[in-house]
Amino acid sequence: MGDEKKIPEGQTPPDASHDSPWETALAQLDEAAELMGLAPGVHEILRVPKRSLIVSVPFRMDDGSTRVYQGTRVHHNVTRGPAKGGIRYHPDMGFDETKALAMWMTWKCAVVDIPFGGAKGGVAVDPREHTRAELERMTRRYASEILPFIGPERDIPAPDMNTDEEIMAWIMDTYSQNQGYSVPGVVTGKPVSIGGSKGRGGATSRGVMYTIFSTLKRLGLGIEEVSVAIQGHGKVGGFLGQLLHDAGCRVVAISDVGGGLYKERGLDPEAINRHKREAGSVVGYPGADPITNEELLQVDCDVLIPAAIESVITVKNADRIRARVVCEAANGPITFEADRILVDRGIFVVPDILANSGGVTVSYFEWVQDIQAYFWTEEEVNDRLRLIMERSFDAVYDLAEAKGLTMRQAAHWIGVGRVAEAHLTRGLFP
């Protein structure tokens, strides 16, 4: 298939050597479209978000002054169901990044075959600069501004970087106040007391763990034989370290935004979690060697888990990665060209749209429970999650083996293919 089909007419192909998440997302889609022989019309539709909203978020500070931030919400695709995606509070939250994250959510939902499309949104704010009361007023104003976009049949937000279940509760309450009755299904990742699902808090971490176990099984490695390094100690990385340690893995490196720790014989994640609660960072934990986040990526280990932010493995450091497996717990931690370098070096890469899909999977469970007003036990949630993660991994791995693809190419083949099939089945309106 020629390049005229790979890039829709009138559009410039992204410079994949750049580290922009949006350029990476487009390059991944274009590669999948070429491999699949995707119809050019459908390919062009999938390159462009369905709808995007940029809003002003003014709110009152504790001292009575007014602060204004920019908020966004992007729906990449809703062909297979309502839009689904997190809300992120981060000072560098840009529009292009939001589009990329929304696109990845579309493929993620399709890979695990749940009936959602992709969305993402947030506010360009550093939440550490505000009191909890200020964050509540900001959140409620942001929720008010995006009200036309969200709803249990339209778009269901969830927690993401620097947001939590309490922030979801504020959004749910703001939406419900406008509707005149409680609507628990408008968000997921909320407290159990108002319709949240048991098992949702650690679902992304648990899904990554199940994916790693499936990978080790296919590669012929025992769980207790492997060493693991985790970059990122937030909602995903912190709990994931504990899960893997408890399962028998040797966690040799852990880091957060302030820096990291290394110990060849293995760290104690529970003790590190206690230290972080007291000190505010993993830095300074006794009995381990201090390392930088960049050094952690180059640690000699069996499994490297980037669980922090986008674009941390690039062409500048991909040749220094020494792990046998890289499992993307974060969204987009490897740039397009860096991914090719890792694959050429024989490193087994488990892509984000497969590896970290446990969170949206249990969000789907929560949404179903809210609609039915019938709730499951935590054991039921975890069992259903494990089955979906294992089934999805096997489908991606088997396709990669059958067609000689990388795991990322196979995952996009399945995800993009399911969305494309839905488009072709529904037809083009009008």
Distance CA 275, CA 252 (A): 17
CB 358 within 8 A of CB 328: no
Distance CA 23, CA 31 (A): 12
From the candidates 84, 108, 120, 198, give the one annotated as an active-site residue: 120
What tokens appear for 279 in the block? 């000190």
Q: Is 10 left (phi over 0), alpha (psi -120 to 50) or beta?
A: left
Evaluated on CA atoms 396, 401, 407, 408, the torsion sign reads negative
Does residue 120 have an active-site annotation?
Answer: yes
What tokens appear for 394 in the block? 């096997």
Distance CA 211, CA 190 (A): 25
CB 267 within 8 A of CB 291: no
Maximum CA pair distance of the chain? Answer: 66
How big is the CA angle at 108 (ends 81 and 393), to the nearest 5 degrees? 125
Distance CA 67, CA 77 (A): 32
What tokens appear for 414 in the block? 């399945």
DSSP bridge pairs for 59? 67
How many helical (H) and strand (E) elements, i.e. helices and strands, does the chain have? 15, 12
Positions annotated as catalytic residues are 120
